[in-house]
Amino acid sequence: MNLANKITLVRIILVPIIMVVLLVNINVAPLEFSGYSITYNQIIAALIFIIAASTDGLDGYIARKNKIVTNLGKLLDPLADKLLVAAVLISLVQMDKLDAWMAIVIISREFAVTGLRQVALLEGSVMAASKWGKWKTAIQITMIISLLLNNFPFHFIAFPFDAVISWIAVAITIYSGLDYFLKNKHLIPIE
């Protein structure tokens, strides 16, 4: 197994660790200052999430640079991305930090586009990530970090960045999904 695939596997292994850190109740007083409160679980989970999310671009870069792109990597990389985002979104819903419908819209889009990618593969083509898909990923990561950190640092200026970025994430998620389907409608058999 090459280095790029090992990095992808680390991202997959970090998924349950993040969930356990987020959802296991530790009886430790939260960190509080100037009206801001956050649990140590959230801080640790946010750091692990940031590390995991940053490996997304790293594994692909290493694979392309060293010409070690494999079918396993093509399968594992998007799977790792979907697992990471879906697991954290579901955890945020459980923690009452994200509306369930928002998580459902985001996760549904991920499954739908993944299905479309599979159809493309069966037809012998590869759907490259679009610029909207890349923006969607960046905004979803920003949203998740903001929610994990209880709107830090925007809490101190009373700006609901976490709510605003959540709405933006849902909107761009829907738009990027529609963009994929419209550009690849030839792959959908209508009989």
- The predicted structure's pLDDT at residue 8: 92
Backbone angles phi, psi at 128, to 5 degrees: -75, 155
The 10s digit of each residue's pLDDT in 67-109 is: 888 878 877 888 899 999 999 999 999 999 999 999 999 999 9
pTM of the entire predicted model: 0.91
**pLDDT score of 191 more than 70:** no
Per 3-state DSSP, what percentage of the chain is helix, strand, and coil (rounded to 5)? 75, 5, 25
Q: For the domain made up of 3-187, give the CATH fold.
A: Four Helix Bundle (Hemerythrin (Met), subunit A) (1.20.120)
6-49 pLDDT per residue, tens: 999 999 999 999 999 999 887 788 999 989 999 999 999 999 99
99-137 confidence digits (pLDDT tens): 999 999 999 999 999 889 888 888 888 777 789 998 999
Predicted pLDDT of residue 141: 96
Give the pLDDT confidence score for residue 1 in this predicted structure. 85
Nearest to 49 by CA among 78, 12, 14: 14
Nearest to 95 by CA among 152, 18, 161: 18
CB atoms within 10 A of CB 82: 16
- pLDDT value of residue 123: 82
Res. 59: pLDDT tops 80: yes
CA distance to 10, 151, 170, per residue, from 7 (Å):
5, 29, 28
